Amino acid sequence: MGEKVILPGDPPIALDIKPSSRARRLSLRVSRLDGRVTLTLPPGASRRHALAFVEDKADWIRRHLADRPDAERPMPGATLPFRGADHTVTTGPGRSVRLSNGAIEVPHRDPERTPARLMAFLKHQARGALVEAVDRHAATLGVSPAKLTLRDTRSRWGSCSVRGDLMFSWRLVMAPPEVLDYVAAHEVAHLVEMNHSRAFWDTVARTCPGFEAPRRWLKQNAEALHRFRFRD
């Protein structure tokens, strides 16, 4: 079971310590997506030795954290990507979030609720787009997915369980439509091939020809989609 500790200093460092039966040595990772610092412990490693290792790397950790792009809280006047295009967040008299001439219009009342409203809007749009894409790819491959859930994941854009449950990051709706479509095709293909073999990628290509370009876009732009903070 993991442990969270705070390493004192300027600034303090929040550290996740995670034992791993498969790790062969101490390893340190600083996520450029959310700034999470993770120390992986191999079997037999002592906590004291692990903390000494982190303290020795403290300057390196702080340099990496300083290089990470600052999170942006979308408010009226900000620009937010939606389906691959930048939209200005504006206010209007309505009671719900809506698209309006290349802008995303949010209710003018209670502006501090804007990030939460935008997140709810993006989740709703993502679900509709992902359900459509999953159904289409599943029909092509002759498979039947189970449950579809949305999360705000940091380490992966989608997953497929052995039961056939599919999970996706709702932030995919901020990417170009072909990127969301590729991720849907990728996870549906796992219902045929639960691996990343050549047969798996051939299956992806059956429903998503030219998937290499959106796959590359996602690798290159992950940080841009994760830089927005919708909750405190």
pLDDT tens digits, residue range 194-225? 999 999 999 999 999 999 999 999 998 988 89
Please report whether residue 72 resides in a domain. Answer: no
Per-residue model confidence (pLDDT) at position 70: 60
Whether 145 and 210 map to the same domain: the answer is: yes
Per-residue model confidence (pLDDT) at position 30: 85
Whether 102 and 62 map to the same domain: the answer is: no
**Torsion angle in degrees (nearest 10) through CA of 43, 49, 55, 61:** -10
| Confidence at 191, pLDDT banded by 50, 70, 90 | very high
Task: Please compute the mean of the pLDDT values over residues 61-86 and round it to a whole number.
Answer: 85
Per-residue model confidence (pLDDT) at position 62: 83
Per-residue model confidence (pLDDT) at position 232: 61
Q: Mean pLDDT score of the chain, rounded to an integer?
A: 91
Task: Please compute the mean of the pLDDT values over residues 121-139 and round it to a whole number.
Answer: 98
Per-residue model confidence (pLDDT) at position 1: 57
> Would the pLDDT of 180 be above 80?
yes
Q: Which long-range contacts (CB under 8 A, 24 or more apart) does 209-216 make?
A: 211/182, 211/185, 211/186, 213/178, 214/176, 214/178, 214/179, 214/181, 214/182, 215/182, 215/186
Per-residue model confidence (pLDDT) at position 69: 59
Please report whether residue 113 resides in a domain. Answer: yes
Residue 28 CA to residue 12 CA, distance in Å, equals 16
Task: Please compute the mean of the pLDDT values over residues 144-160 and round it to a whole number.
Answer: 92
Per-residue model confidence (pLDDT) at position 151: 94
Whether 113 and 197 map to the same domain: the answer is: yes
Tokens of 152: 């705000």
| Confidence at 153, pLDDT banded by 50, 70, 90 | confident
CATH of the domain at 123: 3.30.2010.10
Per-residue model confidence (pLDDT) at position 34: 65
Provide the whole-model pTM.
Answer: 0.74
Per-residue model confidence (pLDDT) at position 128: 98
| Confidence at 168, pLDDT banded by 50, 70, 90 | very high
User: Which of these three, 44, 67, 90, is where a domain ends?
Assistant: 67
> Would the pLDDT of 155 be above 80?
no
User: Which of these three, 67, 88, 123, is where a domain ends?
Assistant: 67
Please report whether residue 232 resides in a domain. Answer: no
Tell me which residue range forms the domain holding 90.
79-226
Please report whether residue 231 resides in a domain. Answer: no
| Confidence at 37, pLDDT banded by 50, 70, 90 | confident
